[in-house]
Structure 1
Amino acid sequence: MSDPLLRFRDRFPILETTTYLVSNSLGAMPRSVADRLAEYAHEWATRGVRAWAERWWEMPISVGDEIAPLIGAGAAEVAMVPNVSLAQAQVLSALDYSSPRDTIVMTALDFPSVRYVYDELATRLGARIVVVPSDDGVGVSEERLIEAIDERTRLVAISHVLFRSAYVMDVARIAARAHAMGALVSLDAYHSVGVLPVDVEALGADFLTGGVLKWLCGGPGGCFLWVRPEVGETIAPALTGWQAHRHPFAFEPEMEYADAAWRWLGGTPVIPALFAATEGPRILRDVGIDDVRAKSIRQTSRLIALADARGYSVTAPRDSARRGGTVAFDVPHAREVALALLASDVIVDYRPGAGIRVAPHFYTSDEEIEAAVELIDDILAHERWRRYADTVHVVS
């Protein structure tokens, strides 16, 4: 069948030499990013400190404006931050957890880095954390989650798409319950923005965090934080820095927060990451997120069918409306098989409890999906996984 989205393949150099099925972890680099990074180096080399006034200082907000259309936000509402752990910590630091609203509700399947922040920081701020468990390791009972939200709840901190299984949470339903109980909602949308339509208003989020690292193909160090304007007017993060000051170059001894998204910035921004971060979101806007989602559903459905035909254990949701962009399936010797795939330039990843994660994106061809699964067959049939049995990788 004809696939109009494949016309974008030539914008991504790595697709010339690999089958790239890991955009859920690190999106392919757009060819034009090299030009943007060269532009940064040229500005630093030729403009020096003047570059701050000429555009660098504004970039955490101007780059946020590139993200805003992809989440349904307005201009100057999105702040760029170095990582989501920091963004979630800023949200935590802005709230009061004194009794009676002393509770944060989370799930057992939220990304560990975010869980670490809440476990370590929230409790030191006086918050009580309620973790809603999972019965199957794939999803979380939304009924149980809703029951956990009550008059003591200050914040509901959940993921839009669960990282291990790609299960899509019914955020709007959960947010409606939270707001009815007087609580706020912090949504980690790292695994949804760029592969699912995301609209902060429709979802009912009060805070949304994410990053360009994965589906947005923007590289490391470019994460973002959106705060509902009417919420942001009433609070400010204790975890802050000089770029959030109303008069930063006055170097005043006391904090006076800037307005809107500026108050959620921190210290000096990571400018090279911001130069790299813009190209991927621009391409995604050109492609069209509805077309990206339709193709993702089709290709992940095919992956599930291929895994089922071989008897592999699929840990992704069967209902396409509840499935993000990744299919995880467990095969014998899955870790070693994943390493053998990498050695063959078929780029996937492995996660304990899930198996091999395969994440096609808008630039993936149907033939690549078929060939990747056939290569798994070959690796198992010829026991090529054995050569990786004793291999230890710090990064997987």
Structure 2
Amino acid sequence: MTDPLLRFRDEFPILARSTYLVSNSLGAMPRATRDRLLEYADAWETLGVRAWAQRWWEMPVTVGDEIAPLLGAGAGEVAMVPNVTAAMAAVVSALDFAPGDAIVMTALDFPSVRYVVDALAARLGARVVVVPSDDGLTIDAGRVVDAIDERTRLVAVSHVLFRSAYVVDVAPIVRRAREVGALVALDAYHSVGVVPVDVRGLDVDFLTGGVLKWLCGGPGGSFLWTRPGLDLRPSVTGWQAHARPFAFESTMEHAEGAWRWLGGTPSVPALYAAIEGPRIVRAAGIDAIRAKSTRQTARLIALADARGFPVHAPRDPARRGGTVAFDVPHAYEVAQSLLARDIVVDYRPGAGIRVAPHFYTTDDELEAAVVAIDEILTSGEWQTFAGRRSVVT
């Protein structure tokens, strides 16, 4: 049967020379992104400072409009920010905390977000309540619900866990937060682009994510959606969030909508790079992408099971995101051997080799990658990389 999503393969040049199975870390670059970056260079070269007025100044919101349909959001509701850490800093800074108020998180949220929440909470007089994981791979939504009480001001959790691709059951968490008047911030970095997301159906107050991974938009392009009508003013802010930025007033008056969540001068090249990937994902269709992802990750689990490799990914497809991690003997060295063969994966301690097919991945590529692991283990090829660990893998 012909896979209709493979019609997009030619849009990603790296696929012609590599087996690219690491879209959970960095999505493949669309061919047209080079043209968008050339547009940036041409604008700077020919217009100089006038480029701000012609396009650059508006891009944190106009590029957000490219992503909004993938969130079930409307035009003007999504702000582009440098990273999710900055987005969460803005969110926490917009809240008032009384002594004893709490922010509820989990032990498996991305560490960078924990760092900034912990630091700001300490300065603002809030407690951070961390819900533990029983197995290091999943989060029991019931335990999160139990941690939310009348002193909870914010619940900040992940939609899909970065370590295991476990899809958290968000609905009961949101219901409990609503009962006590708490706000909910959902980190959807590992879901948008591979799992359907609807901010209004989820009923959250904030949603963060980025184009780096499943949206194939490169580094430096993250986004923050806030529920329309939420009257909050972040203190972590900048001049682009001012109602009259070019009046250069000495006191802050926040703009309306997505604009009020912006910061200082934006990273314009990253915004150009962020455009094409979301457009292609929208054209492919998130439901079709999800169906293919579910099928291909199930196949990876079956291939790992057949070889006795421990699998660190949910078995239930409804609870599984787009990545399968499985451990093999000498997993780090095997991963480096795969990279040397231009089979692009990554490795994480405690999880093993992470394989992340996307809508542009063929079934044959999955089979060939696992056969390559067999060959590397049987031949001892992995020994070439013994004792050669790098900081970035």
Task: Normalising by structure 1, report the TM-score.
Answer: 0.98
Corresponding residue of 2:134 = 135
Identity %, equivalent residues: 72
Partner of 1:41: 41
Question: Could you say which residue in structure 1 is the equivalent of 2:27?
Answer: 27
The equivalent residue for 2:98 is 98
Please identify, of 242-251 and 172-181, the stretch whose mean Cα deviation from structure 2 is larger.
Answer: 172-181
Moved over 6 A (4+): none
1:230, distance to aligned residue in structure 2 (A): 1.9
TM-superposed CA distance for 1:121, in Å, is 2.0
For 1:287, the equivalent position in structure 2 comes to 284
Q: What is the distance in 1 between the residues matched to 2:183 and 2:144?
A: 14
* CA distance in 1 between partners of 2:77 and 2:281 (Å): 20
8 A contact 2:99–2:125 mirrored in 1: no
Alpha-carbon distance in 2 for matches of 1:359, 1:123: 37
- Structure 2 stretches lacking a partner, 5+ long: none
Q: CA deviation at 1:219?
A: 0.3
- What do you get for the CA RMSD once the two structures are aligned? 0.7
**Residue matched to 2:6:** 6
TM-superposed CA distance for 1:122, in Å, is 1.8
| Inter-partner Cα distance in structure 1 for 2:367 and 2:122 | 48
Listed one character per residue, the Cα deviations across residues 5-28 of structure 1 (whole Å, up to 9, x for unaligned) are 101000000001100000000000
Q: Secondary structure at the match of 1:65?
A: helix
For residue 307 of structure 2, what is the aligned residue in structure 1? 310
Residue 390 of structure 1: how far off its partner (Å) = 1.1
Residue identity opposite 1:109 in structure 2:
L
What is the CA–CA distance in structure 1 between the aligned matches of 2:200 and 2:49, rounded to whole Å? 39
Equivalent residues in 2 for 1:296-335, closer than 5 Å:
296-335=293-332
CA–CA separation in structure 2 for the residues paired with 1:37 and 1:203: 35
Separation of aligned partners in 2, 1:125 and 1:13: 48
Tell me the distance in 1 between the aligned counterparts of 2:126 and 2:304.
43
Give the corresponding residue for 1:383: 380
CA shift at 1:388, angstroms? 0.7
Q: Distance in 2 between matches of 1:328 and 1:228?
A: 34
1:353 corresponds, among 344, 350, 359, to 350
Aligned to 1:189: 188
Deviation, structure 1 residue 392: 2.2
CA distance in 1, matches of 2:229, 2:380: 59
In the aligned structure 2, how far is the partner of 1:353 from the partner of 1:106?
21
Partner residue in 2 for 1:373 = 370
Q: Distance in 1 between matches of 2:106 and 2:380?
A: 38
SS at match of 2:229: helix
Task: List runs of 5+ in structure 1 lacking aligned partners.
Answer: none
In structure 1, the residue matched to 2:251 is 254
Could you tell me which residue of structure 1 aligns to residue 158 of structure 2? 159
Deviation (angstroms), 1:205: 1.1
- Structure 1: how far apart are the matches of 2:186 and 2:122? 19
2:119 aligned residue: 120
How far 1:99 sits from its partner (Å)? 3.4
The answer to whether the Cα contact below 8 Å between 2:13 and 2:29 also exists between their aligned partners in 1 is yes
Asked if structure 1 preserves the Cα contact closer than 8 Å seen for 2:141 and 2:170, the reply is no
Which whole-Å CA distance do the structure 2 matches of 1:343 and 1:289 have between them?
A: 32
How far apart are the structure 1 equivalents of 2:243 and 2:229?
19
